[in-house]
Amino acid sequence: MIVTLTPNPSHDRTVALPAALVRGAVQRAESVTSQAGGKGVNISRASVAAGIPSIAVLPAPPEDPFVLELLSAGIDCRAVPTTGTLRVNITISEPDGTTTKLNSPGPTVTDEVLTGLTESLLRRAASADWLVLAGSLPPGAPATWYAELVEVLRGHGARVAVDTSEAPLQALVEGLPDSAPHLMKPNGEELASFTGADADLLESDPYAAAKAARTLVDRGVETVLATLGANGAVLVNAQGAWHATPPPTTVVSTVGAGDSSLFGYLLGDIRQRNPAQRLALAVAYGSAAAGLPGTTIPHPTQVTPELVSVRDLDLTQGG
């Protein structure tokens, strides 16, 4: 079972344009879709579609349409009661696959709600294959909350994966090794934010990305899955490093691709695949998501890991 935490859930609204976005102009949308989302929620969607039980933990009023939408989709949603209106995130999607995101901050969270979220995760720690902490933190949550939460959850024997950015990611890294999760999933830009490397270099050079990821492994993180956009992803652990190249993909929307990649890795782990096979599943899920509109999460029948090329990386030899 995969238990996900989405501390700052959102109604994800996607506006698909028939032509390139022109700032300051009036343009007609080709379509507008809306879906209950957030990184953890997206992973729970992928999990349920793949037949892996999942529980989505998040703050929301119990009768909020967001919660009801997830329940009607077959996702076991455990909402910790809170007040305020859930945020709306807007994605503008252009025909060439360019996506522009406008994310709102979300309602302010209280210490009582943060405690409720922690207790909800702890109740399920022993029975879950993975606990996934994903996405931004809402206003009112300290930037160190993920780092502190990882320490608590690891103390209860849970395997923890984290996918976040900006201040919460920085706090997590600064807290290593005490705050080390079992799995981290940064992208190239996020790797650059705490290693001082050039983000464009990390995105384009798998060796450079793997070496940056290795610094996290050296500081206590068990496994790092670093997604590199069109250049696939690298996987690094104490035993080795691997790079996977995605199959040819016509990019429709990159929203949700990283979440799908993380789920692909978790699925491979639950199915006891070796590291290279887990990476292949991760990249296959990510590329499948990139080929779908909006925040659509791929079904297993749309995922083709056999088309992903994986190679070992010898980090002692350079690029």
**Among all residues, which ones are annotated catalytic?**
259
- Give the number of other Cβ atoms within 10 Å of residue 83's Cβ: 12
What letter represents residue 266's amino acid? L
Helix axis angle, 257-270 to 39-49, nearest 10°: 50
Q: Say how far apart CA 94 and CA 252 lie, in whole Å.
A: 8
Return d(Cα 113, Cα 308) in angstroms, integer.
Answer: 42
Burial pattern 180-190, b for ≥16 Cβ within 10 A else e, equals bbbbbbbbbeb
Helix axes 111-124, 145-154, angle to 10 degrees: 30
Task: Name the phi and psi angles at 47, rounded to 5.
Answer: -65, -50
Residues sharing a CB contact under 8 Å with residue 29, sequence separation 6 or more, in sequence order: 15, 16, 17
Q: Cβ-count burial of 39 within 10 angstroms (0-12 exposed, 13-18 middle, 19+ buried)?
A: buried
Alpha-carbon distance of 313 to 201, in angstroms, equals 17
